[in-house]
Chain A
Amino acid sequence: MSNTAVANDHHDDAHHGPAKGLMRWVFTTNHKDIGTLYLVFALFMFIVGGAMAMIIRAELFQPGMQLVDPEFFNQMTTMHALVMIFGAVMPAFVGLANWMVPMMIGAPDMALPRMNNWSFWILPFAFTMLLSTLFMPSGGPAGGWTLYPPLSLQTGNSFAFVIFAIHMMGISSIMGAINIIATILNMRAPGMTLLRMPLFVWTWLITAFLLIAVMPVLAGAVTMLLTDRFFDTSFFNAAGGGDPVMFQHIFWFFGHPEVYIMILPAFGVISEIIPTFARKPLFGYSAMVYATASIAFLSFIVWAHHMFTVGMPLGGELFFMYATMIIAVPTGVKVFNWVSTMWRGSMTFETPMLFALAFVILFTIGGFSGLMLAIVPADFQYHDTYFVVAHFHYVLVTGAIFGIIAGAYYWLPKWTGNMYPERLGKIHFWWSTISVNVLFFPQHYLGLAGMPRRIPDYAVQFADYNMISSIGGFAFGLAQLLFVYIVWKTSRGGKKATAQVWEGAKGLEWTIASPAPYHTFEDPPVIDDSKLAHGDITH
């Protein structure tokens, strides 16, 4: 294997550039091209899912039904979640991994480049199929992204397409995860020991294991739904000896690790950005690695906190409450370490740093409401209300998506060779950060005051906060169009970026030219400890 690699290094076509035209993108096995495909696809899905959110917020703008039928509203909430989770957040992180992991560990490409091509190209077909259900006679899925039976089994024949689409997304994710693990474990440059790897690589290694562990569980759950729906089995039908609650246990055994699949890589991005702009090594590097691993382990034993109201025995409720509360400890370690990294640093506030700082504060607010949700007696009130909606949007929008946006600004100069327009970036930041809080903060109050989630209309006492929230939503949606413009403009041109790009940047990716050449690290780099992101490797 290694002999072949060495032979290839000295082969002539190791230095060729990209193919021309559309076929470059269809047949590419280059990690940078595939990373770009993932990122562009994710951005497109982010706009599609965002458009659905706009429909939801428009209907909720005032009490009464003005725009859509309740059934279509339910299709929108369901599709918004599926598109954002499987179409936007997960592919965006896989795109970041494709671009950055080989460059951060000094590898020439991903370990399995052809599978890499396949794992991306499944996705557009999966989402075409998923979205096409909206135009089928029986309509799209309307039972929520959690697909709880028996409600989800009331979906028409389009249900088969939904499940097949989910299977394809799962296959894509598993292949992506295998590729990332194989790359990180086998392709590190000599001297890049595991505990010298950048935090982003670490978080993705752990995330990839989570993906391999739980995506098959989701596949099993939805396959049982498929046979219950079309082949008269009774896995989840009590009348036939099955159990509807069993689905929820299986689903959330997937679903909770899934939550961390969407946030751990963001932790990694933030752990790269803060040291760069604080010009100071990451505080507590090994604690960060162990905290990430602890969070990943705990994510497997807390699933039933999504189901406190299904009528579990007291012992079960206590176990899942305690286990959930414990997650606050490693998560707290991460937040304290980020703040300590800033402490006595020499900070500047370019757009990536601004998004990273907002991430730390707003993700922590989402963590606080998560801790509140862990308290079972209070959860009997919070559960399935807008308080939960506020909680997971703080974690996923100002957490995962702010992490992705921060990463995009941070690495765009490396990808395109051009600096993004800093002033527009800052406008995008302030506009997004203010509007996202106007959008989601009032939802805490709505939930506490008694507004259930997933309702198309509400009692009039909820009118004011809903209107505020909708205004915030429209503003936040507009701000993301500005982001699309900035990315497009930067890809077309702009101030030329240096190889280093950021004064305080450390790590192998900053030792290569901007834009990164089509092939990098064909000869393994020499690892210099002083260039590692966390500097001091004695810990």
Chain B
Amino acid sequence: MKNQNIVVVVLAVLAGMLLTVWGMFAVGDNMPRGVTEFSREAYDLHMIILWICVVIGVLVFGAMFVSIILHRKSRGAEAAQFSHSTKAEITWTVIPILILVIMAIPATRVLILMETTAGYQMDIKITGYQWKWQYDYLDEGISFISSLDSASDAARQLDSGIDPTSVDNYLLEVDNPLVIPTDTKIRFLITAGDVIHSWWVPELGWKRDAIPGLINEAWTEVSEPGIYRGQCAELCGRDHGFMPVVVIAKPRAEYEQWVAQQKGLDITGYADTDGEVIPATGITSTVN
């Protein structure tokens, strides 16, 4: 009877732990589901493997806690002297292998999806520099540099006296964001001019290293218009923490309008998704 009570207590503690973990993910600090097919697949894989780990953890730690509570000397437990069990050992070798095989199948499928750039509709070249990004629209001939916006830059200086919480999108805002059309398969050609950087927007679902002398390929197709923010993910020197990525996805028509403006037809400025006018400083554009 007393042993049963203890098992109930153990189960309650484990259930509490589970609830806490679940609760913390539910509150919002989890991997974003994102706005691309790939990002949603990556999220699903993440959640599957997470729950597999949680279930295995509950079983293993549960057995351990039961043992810690029941099989203690202070309760008068006598030590058994068994030291092996071929059956048990085969079981806990084979079952993990099966779980891994089951996990490997969807992971392989999603990976093949990500690594297939065929069928892309436009190219954007991304070049990382210390500490800014250059974007070249290879089909349109548009090219510009994107770096940390001045408000964040002022606030991030040592002892600036500016409260970061008073700066909109502190460290996640740039002067010239990358503008892309929605529902278009875009191939990114990613490289760097000095050291290795890594271009990452969590909502798109991936990061890819920008390596001097090599050109990496990646692709995305964003389904929802919006502003998506990310950062350089590979240590690239002093200001590694201060080279954000901002991507604005616009519906096709609005994107065409933006392209036309960039090509010099109307260079005074363009409206971002909030309708706010962003000055076109730093943008060099050439007409094909």
Contact = CB atoms under 8 A, between A and B. Distances in A.
Given A281-B81, A460-B165, A309 B207 contact: yes
A57 interface: no
A243 B209 CA distance: 14
A115 to B, nearest CB: 37
A364 B60 contact: yes
| Majority secondary structure of chain B interface residues (helix, strand, loop or mixed) | mixed
Contacts of A364: 57, 60-61
Contacts of B195: 150-151, 154
Contacts of B89: 284, 287, 333, 336-337
Given A63-B170, A66-B159, A344-B80, A384 B198 contact: yes
B115 A381 contact: no
Given A348-B73, A378-B42, A63 B30 contact: no
Nearest to A67: B158
A151 B200 CA distance: 19
Interface of A is mostly: helix
Contact of B80 (A148, A280, A286, A445): A280
A272 to B, nearest CB: 15
Nearest to B49: A372
A278 B71 CA distance: 8
A160 B169 CA distance: 41
B236 interface: yes
Interface stretch (B1-9, B237-245, B264-272): B237-245
Contacts of A335: 60
- The winner among B31, B57, B202 for most chain A CB atoms within 10 A is B31
B158 A65 contact: yes
B19 interface: no
Chain A interface residue number, banded: 35 or more
B108 A318 contact: yes
Interface string A165-189: 0000000000000000000000000
Indicate the size class of the contact surface on chain B: 35 or more
Contacts of B159: 65-66
Contact of B235 (A151, A285, A460): A151
A505 to B, nearest CB: 14
Interface stretch (A47-55, A96-104, A319-327): A319-327
Contacts of A454: 235, 240-241
Query: Which of A151, A154, A534 counts the most B-chain CB atoms under 10 A from its CB?
Result: A151
Q: Which of A150, A450, A458, A535 gathers most chain B CB within 10 Å?
A: A450
A346 B22 CA distance: 34
Contact of B71 (A150, A342, A369, A452): A342
Contact of B57 (A150, A237, A368, A375): A368
B138 interface: no
B152 to A, nearest CB: 9
A385 interface: yes
A24 to B, nearest CB: 41
Contact of A279 (B79, B84, B155, B236): B79
Interface of B: 24-25, 28-32, 38, 41-42, 45-46, 49-50, 53, 56-57, 60-61, 63-64, 67-68, 71-74, 77-85, 88-89, 92-93, 96-97, 100, 103-104, 107-108, 110-112, 114-115, 155-160, 162-165, 169-172, 190, 194-196, 198, 200, 202, 205-209, 211-214, 216-217, 230-242
23 contacts: A70-B238, A70-B241, A74-B238, A143-B235, A237-B213, A243-B214, A281-B81, A282-B83, A285-B83, A309-B209, A311-B190, A311-B208, A318-B111, A321-B104, A325-B104, A344-B82, A376-B111, A384-B207, A445-B25, A449-B31, A452-B233, A452-B241, A457-B171
Among all A-B residue pairs, the 9 with the closest Cβ atoms:
A238-B213, A455-B241, A311-B216, A445-B29, A368-B53, A380-B206, A346-B79, A281-B83, A344-B80
Given A150-B195, A332-B93, A375-B103, 11 more contacts: A64-B155, A65-B159, A74-B238, A280-B83, A284-B84, A284-B85, A345-B67, A384-B200, A385-B233, A454-B235, A459-B169
